[in-house]
Amino acid sequence: MKKRVLIGLIATLGALSSCGAGKDRQVVNLFNWTYFIPDQVLYDFRDETGIHVQLDTYDGNDTMYAKLLSGNANYDVVVPSGDFVSLMIEQNMLQPLNKELLPNFRHFDPMILTYITFDPGNIYSVPYALGATGININTGKVSEFDASWRIFEREDLSRRMTLMNDTRDVIGGALKYLGYSANSTNPDEINQARDHIIRYWKPNILKFDAEMFGKDFATGNTWIAQGFPEVVMKELEGSDAFKNHHFVLPREGGLIYLDNMAILADAPHPDLAHQLINYILRLDVHAFIMDEFWYPTLMPEAESLRRVAVPYSIEGLFANNYEFRENVGDAVTYYTQAWNVIMQSK
């Protein structure tokens, strides 16, 4: 009897495992940020080309990088931020792109491409989306405000404000406020920024949080939140409170994130990967994805296809002294040490 159960179990397992690989279908493996591509795009791509996209997600560049370092995971396309593109090029983790297979690359605004210092000439990567952190304000609760990092010094908003839980974003903001580069590698400057945060900002904020700040802002628990506007807007979409959400870029500056599509050096399906990237770079697809997240468009011709108003423009970012987030190399140690001190301080 027992034996028969066991045989039955093995047979079931066998049948289940053969389900996946049964048909000779084409699959491309995409490793992307959580909620960074609408499912619709992947379905449309499948309907058009017959290629299935196997999506796996990560919540940060660090976790993506750690997972890729720790062993072959069979991914084809990944979407790292600029600083990680340069790091991954250094580590020989990416393969050069075949631009002949990416005709849609020509749609990009050449001005934006000139800013790409982490991969000059876009040999290994092409832009996916550009975003920036700034300050989200609930104008229903806070009517007077200044577009400056100084807002975190306001004691009347004490315990109603949150900062990100990201070393570079928070210390970067303080660096900009003090007049330094947000990509500083100078330990003195980083320590000044650290002390400024501990002395003037930390006493007034509720918490450092990069995961829940959108929800807390949407439920009215907090009124001021450093972070990406789209995170808050996704939470508020369709509610009355949406009109009370105002996003400002602090005039002292901050960090711009450019996330890029790249193909891993050991990708099992480089051809399909090129097809997927080229599809995502199509004008209508680009406009659709940017609409979903209220991002500024990177392709001038896609502007007319946009359906939503974006909270900030690329021109606005440069007018406000924003900088692209760069790999700071060994100076990352200074940032981590400063961060640990900020966390422990009163």
Partner 1 sequence: MRKNLGFRYTLLAMIVTTTLTIIPLLIVIFYSFLTKNSSGGVIYQFSLDAYRTIFSKEYALVLKDTLIITFWATSMTMLVALPCAYYMALSRHKDILMMIIIVPFWTNFLVRIFAWKAILEANGFLNLILLKLGIIDTPFMFLYNRTAVIVVLAYTSLPFAILPLYNAIEKFDFSLLEAARDLGSGHMRSLAKILIPNIRGGIVASMVFVAIPIFGQYIVPQLIGGGNAGTFMLGQQIANVFFNERNWPVPSAITTLLMFVTLIGFFAVRIRTSQKNRDYLAKNK
Measured distance CA(343)–CA(339) in Å, rounded: 6
The dihedral sign for the CA sequence 139, 140, 144, 150: negative
Q: Please state the closest distance from residue 241 (CB atom) to partner 1, in A.
A: 13
- What sign results for the dihedral spanned by CA atoms 83, 64, 314, 141? negative
CB of 333 to partner 1, least distance (A): 6
Shortest CB 76 distance to partner 1, Å: 21
Residues that bind partner 1 (CB under 8 A): 60, 62-63, 65-66, 69, 87, 90-91, 159, 162, 165, 167, 206-209, 211-212, 216, 219-221, 329-330, 332-333, 335-337, 339-346
| 48 or 211: CB nearest partner 1 | 211
- Is the Cβ of residue 64 or residue 249 nearer to partner 1 in the bound state? 64
Give the nearer residue to partner 1 in terms of CB position, either 206 or 298.
206
Cβ at position 163, least distance to partner 1 in Å = 8
> 26 or 219, CB closer to partner 1?
219
Comparing CB distances to partner 1, the nearer of 95 and 337 is 337
Nearest distance in Å: CB 340, partner 1:
6
> What minimum distance in Å lies between the beta carbon of 265 and partner 1?
15
Minimum distance from CB of 219 to partner 1 (Å)?
6
Of 120 and 220, CB closest to partner 1: 220
Please provide residue 33's backbone torsions phi and psi, each rounded to the nearest 5 degrees.
-65, 155
Minimum CB distance to partner 1 smaller for 57 or for 165: 165
